[in-house]
């Protein structure tokens, strides 16, 4: 009989980070990762199910709410998830995202007593050095309490690892993030890159700044519009390419319009076809999030050889090893404008060698070792 594992995250969108793990457990990884397959597992997924979840045997809808204060919705989600867990008789549960993981671990208490192993991968605690006090009040105690119902907590940056090891009563490991799929980002031909540009009306001689992220306040896209606006007015060849969707998309578009640069800002949503070629065709990559666990988009850009400018947070600091040249405060648009000007004039100065530990192959190897140790 197959062993059974349930993955959970409050949003189905997050399942894309879990797909390599799900495929590894099902035994469906393809070359060049085929040798890392474990196989023999039934893999189920529970989330808000707002979009399609791939590579799962069974997909469940749980009405998770992102807002930590929506206790009415949390109670409903807890009941829905507890029913799935109790009836599923799972050997393991691997949970992700803050609110979803807390509800999952509470709902899995009875299952743990029967032997179910619960793994939580934290992609960035909401409490961190310099975080608002409300973040500590809302999340720290909840995470500390949920740690009691956790067989293994996995972090992806050094700051979170040190805090979890010091404060939480559960085993803690650190891995090097989700990892760049180097097979997907193999160098594409120049013609393919130009074709990817042309699809969005970008000319060969445009200077394109790319930012891939969900449109939320935390991802801080409006800072890029504000900082780049004076440069765009001087240089009509400067274009901003925002890849993503989310609740702050409309207001970001409105900001671009109010600053008179809407024609130089592109908002095509998430791009799946020829994504690697499109990224490789860009001239600079930015990630301006206030809070970041690591930053897969930044790593993919580095692997593609792009210059980067990123905000100073724990995840980005790990990637650039604290080098201030690449970092800017998430509230300092003036400094970002200055750095953008420098990077446009001298892009080579903002390039950084890709840290080889951040490959998908390495990440899968780390997780395979963890699964084999904790799940047997």
191-249 pLDDT, tens digit per residue, is: 999 999 999 999 999 999 999 999 999 999 999 999 999 999 999 999 999 999 999 99
Closest CA to 240 of 293, 282, 278, 196: 282
Structural domains for the chain: 3-179+359-375 (3.40.50.2000), 190-358 (3.40.50.2000)
Q: In terms of C-beta density within 10 A (0-12 exposed, 13-18 middle, 19 or more buried), how is residue 231 classed?
A: middle
With residue 239 as reference, give the H or E element that holds it.
strand 238-243
Q: What is the mean pLDDT of the chain?
A: 96
pLDDT band at 38 (very low <50, low <70, confident <90, very high): very high
pLDDT at 34 over 90: yes
Cα–Cα distance for residue pair 31/309, rounded to 1 Å: 33
- The confidence score (pLDDT) of residue 149 equals 98
Cα–Cα distance for residue pair 317/311, rounded to 1 Å: 9
258-281 pLDDT, tens digit per residue, is: 999 999 999 999 998 899 999 999
Please give the share of the chain, as a percent, with pLDDT higher than 70. Answer: 100
> How do strand 238-243 and strand 265-266 relate by DSSP bridges?
parallel
For residues 10 and 99, the answer to whether their CB atoms sit within 8 Å is: yes
């Amino acid at each position: 009989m197959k062993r059974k594992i349930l993955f959970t995250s409050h949003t189905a969108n997050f399942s894309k980070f879990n797909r390599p793990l799900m495929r590894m457990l099902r035994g469906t990884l393809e070359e060049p990762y085929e040798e890392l397959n474990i196989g023999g597992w039934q893999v189920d997924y529970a989330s808000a199910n707002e979009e399609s979840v791939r590579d799962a045997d069974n997909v469940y809808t749980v009405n998770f709410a992102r807002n930590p204060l929506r206790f009415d919705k949390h109670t409903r989600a807890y009941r829905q998830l507890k029913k799935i867990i109790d009836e599923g008789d799972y050997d393991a549960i691997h949970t992700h995202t803050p609110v979803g993981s807390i509800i999952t671990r509470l709902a899995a208490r009875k299952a743990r007593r029967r032997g179910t192993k619960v793994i939580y991968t934290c992609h960035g605690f909401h409490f961190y050095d310099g975080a608002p006090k409300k973040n500590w009040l809302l999340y720290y105690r909840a995470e500390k309490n949920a740690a009691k119902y956790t067989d293994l907590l996995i972090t992806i940056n050094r700051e979170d690892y040190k805090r979890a090891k010091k404060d939480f009563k559960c085993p803690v490991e650190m891995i090097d993030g989700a990892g760049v799929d180097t097979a997907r980002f193999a160098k594409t031909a120049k013609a393919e890159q130009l074709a990817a540009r042309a699809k969005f009306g970008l000319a060969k001689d445009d200077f394109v700044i790319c930012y891939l992220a969900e449109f939320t306040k935390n991802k801080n896209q409006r800072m890029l519009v504000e900082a780049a606006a004076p440069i765009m007015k001087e240089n009509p060849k400067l274009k901003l390419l925002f890849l993503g969707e989310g609740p702050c998309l409309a207001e970001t578009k409105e900001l671009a319009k109010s600053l008179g640069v809407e024609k130089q800002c592109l908002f095509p949503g998430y791009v799946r076809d020829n994504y690697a070629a499109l990224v490789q065709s860009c001239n600079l990559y930015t990630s301006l999030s206030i809070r970041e666990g690591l930053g897969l988009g930044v790593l993919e850009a580095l692997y593609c050889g792009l210059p980067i400018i990123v905000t100073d947070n724990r995840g980005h600091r790990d990637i650039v090893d604290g080098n201030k040249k690449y970092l800017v405060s998430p509230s300092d648009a003036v400094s970002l404008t200055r750095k953008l000007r420098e990077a446009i004039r001298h892009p080579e100065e903002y390039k950084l060698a890709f840290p080889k530990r951040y490959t998908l192959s390495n990440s899968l190897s780390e997780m395979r070792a963890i699964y084999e140790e904790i799940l047997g």
